[in-house]
Chains A and B, each alone.
Chain A
Amino acid sequence: EVQLVESGGGLVQPGGSLRLSCAASAFSLNNYWMHWVRQAPGKGLVWVSCMNGDGSIKHYADSVKGRFTVSRDNAKNTMYLQMNNLRAEDTAIYYCIRGAGYILDVWGQGTTVTVSS
């Protein structure tokens, strides 16, 4: 069964850093675009970042550009989101999603990030 499992969320102070992980099973990250989407408490869905199959193309939302970096480890079939200089407005559930291009076809369960002092 195709599955995505996120981890690495938690409570962090403003200005701090976190690295989220997304472990994929039953398919290879090499063959798909992969995306991060976040959802603030009680709010809608907001796309954050994506990366193509070979990692040569990466895109970021303006709100996280320069602070977040997406990467992958093919040997571990895992994608990462390094989040630096975190702000209160980054508080959200972060979902890892497999993409058929920009069609978001398999969603993980999400990991919660809380930025607060």
Chain B
Amino acid sequence: DIVMTQSPDSLAVSLGERATINCKSSQSLLSTSNNQNYLAWHQQKPGQPPKLLISWASTRESGVPDRFSGSGSGTDFTLIISSLQAEDVAVYYCQQHFSEPITFGQGTRLEIK
């Protein structure tokens, strides 16, 4: 199984500041057949189900604000929120969509400082 490890476990950032969440996989998520990275990011706000933000490491879902961006390749990935808003308070999970079993990172709790 592919192990996904996020850092940090929790993060407090001031409104308007940048938040950075890291995700590392135990094996490469880069496919040699299509040169795509099979990595997604989900956001779970308190009391709500998760919501897909980004797939293919950097492709934002429709309607996701452009302050959210994903980057990385191979085994190291990053989610950046460029200017934190109050509504971004949530737990963020990375997920590999490379192979089954699908696996998630342990989550990063993002709060306002």
Contacts and interface: CB of A to CB of B under 8 A. Distances in A.
Interface of A: 35, 37, 44-47, 50, 59, 61-62, 95, 100-110
Given A102-B102, A104-B50, 6 more contacts: A44-B93, A45-B95, A102-B97, A102-B100, A104-B42, A104-B102
19 contacts: A44-B105, A44-B107, A45-B42, A45-B44, A45-B95, A45-B107, A47-B102, A47-B103, A59-B100, A59-B101, A62-B101, A102-B102, A103-B55, A104-B40, A104-B95, A104-B102, A106-B52, A107-B49, A108-B49
Interface of B: 38, 40, 42, 44, 49-52, 55, 61, 93, 95, 97-107
B107 A107 contact: no
Contact of B61 (A101, A102, A105): A105
Contact of B106 (A44, A101, A102, A108): A44
State the majority secondary structure of interface residues on B.
loop
A45 B49 CA distance: 10
Contacts of A107: 49-52
State the majority secondary structure of interface residues on A.
strand
Q: Which 6 A-B pairs have the closest CB atoms?
A: A102-B97, A47-B102, A107-B49, A45-B104, A59-B100, A103-B55
A95 B49 CA distance: 8
B49 A35 contact: no
